[in-house]
Amino acid sequence: MPLIQSDYQPAFIFKNGHFSTIYSAKLRISPTLIQKRERVTLPDNDFIDIDWSYAKKPTKKVAILLHGLEGNAQRIYIKGAAKDLLEDHWDIAAMNFRGCSGEDNTKYQSYHSGKTDDLESIINHILEKDRYQEIVLVGFSLGANLLLKYLGERENIPKEIKKGVAISVPTCLRGSLERLNKPENWPYRTVFLISLRNKYQLKMKQHPDKMFASDLKNIKTLKDFDDIYTSKAHGFKDAYDYYQKNSSNQFLPNIKIPVLILNAKNDSFLNPDCFPFDIAKSSKYIFLETPLYGGHVGFHVSNDTYYSEKRTVVFLKNIK
């Protein structure tokens, strides 16, 4: 308890994990969503952009949405989640991590799977508006790991934070990297690597004393990127030290608000350690749902309906 028996059953073709992953990311028609951007200055004078969407009627509830690796607040899965939450009278604060809003951030550091201080800054900024009595956190992939780490690593969190939803979450970062290195996952890791290398090259112009063309040439894998940039920029010894210290599995037992983890068993990004059955069995707060299908953020029902999006609303509404 609480392990949840899932009733998600997609159409036949969407039972293929790779098809559901790729279709949902690249072929799904993007929901229409009005977003208004706010730039927030961080304590180190860098910035993060929030893309706001508002419910039709004034509300005291806000959902903070956290995207995945090399994503942003315009990704289809963010807009899909926002659409259903707006219909349930939540305002939406879709966070773009540093360097992910279409403009490079100013500092040498950027974002990573466990950089919870930026999330904390955004939460404090929203609380300062004195507009909301209830906050929920909804994260996808990297953003979901970030969410879980934030909730589990602190002795206290603001009383306004009531629940969380973590979708397709790599709770074991090293295990997820090793899965991504499997031959069948070459399209995903190639897309990630191209995007990360491009950002490194862009950042070199701002930080020529710390970032070098010779290092860029040596970034041939995702682990290379984390060894050469992520770990150095954010104070870790190397990639494995970064993975170990930021994997959310170790923080789950400390979470004290209800959280839904929705991980598909055919998600090719996740290894067995990303399915924390034993932790959920012994927790009052971790609700673990592991449907057979769904791929990585690909819980298709129809173009207008995704199981993960409906499930998020139901969980937030019904779990006390």
Identity of the residue numbered 73 = A
Which residues have C-beta within 8 Å of that of residue 132, sequence separation ≥ 6? 60, 61, 62, 91, 126, 160
Strand stretches in the chain, DSSP E = 3-4, 36-41, 47-53, 61-66, 91-96, 134-140, 161-167, 259-262, 286-289
Mean pLDDT split into 10-residue runs, the chain, 320 residues:
90 97 96 97 98 97 98 98 98 98 97 98 97 98 98 96 98 98 97 98 96 98 98 98 98 98 98 97 96 98 95 94
The Cα–Cα gap between 319 and 191 comes to 37
Nearest residue to 144 via CA among 252, 273, 30: 252
- Tell me the CB-side half-sphere exposure of residue 140, using CA atoms within 13 A: 32
Q: What is the pLDDT of residues 2-14, one digit of tens each?
A: 899 999 999 999 9
The Cα–Cα gap between 92 and 122 comes to 13
DSSP string, 251-298: GGGG--S-EEEE--TT-TT--GGGS-HHHHHT-SSEEEE--S--TTT-
* DSSP class of 299: -
> What are the residue ranges spanned by the domains of the chain?
3-172+247-318, 178-246
Length of the chain: 320
The CA-CA-CA angle for residues 213, 216, 218, to 5°, reads: 120
Is there a cis peptide before residue 276, judged by omega within 30 degrees of 0?
no
Nearest residue to 166 via CA among 48, 283, 90, 249: 249
> pLDDT averaged over the chain?
97
pTM over 0.85: yes
* DSSP class of 25: I
* From the candidate CATH numbers 1.10.3720.10, 3.90.180.10, 3.40.50.1820, 2.40.30.10, the one assigned to the domain spanning 3-172+247-318: 3.40.50.1820
